[in-house]
Amino acid sequence: MSNPKATWCISLDTECPECGEAIDLFEQDWVNAALSDRTFDVCERDTRWTTDVNVTCPKCSVDFKVDFEY
Ligand SMILES: [Zn+2]
């Protein structure tokens, strides 16, 4: 009998500076693509790939930049 599974649950949360919408960047395809391509790794920060990252708010469509942290 195999053990029950334990599932990591990771989010990359930010907030739109315009409308206040809470955004989990893991729900955006480009983040998953960047992780698959190893452009950056989970929990990476303070690198050129995780600083001044362009984000588009899914609610109000404003563009803004974020720096990843954990
Ligand atoms: Zn917004």
CA of 62 to the centre of ligand 1 (A): 6
Which residues are within 5 Å of ligand 1 (an ion), measured at CB? 16, 18-19, 21, 57, 59-60
Q: Is the pLDDT of residue 64 over 90?
A: yes
CA of 61 to the centre of ligand 1 (A): 6
CA of 35 to the centre of ligand 1 (A): 24
Q: Is the pLDDT of residue 69 over 90?
A: yes
Say what the pTM is: 0.83
Q: Using CB atoms within 10 A of its CB, is residue 1 exposed (0-12), middle (13-18) or buried (19+)? A: exposed
User: Residue 39 — very low, low, confident or very high, per pLDDT cuts 50/70/90?
Assistant: very high
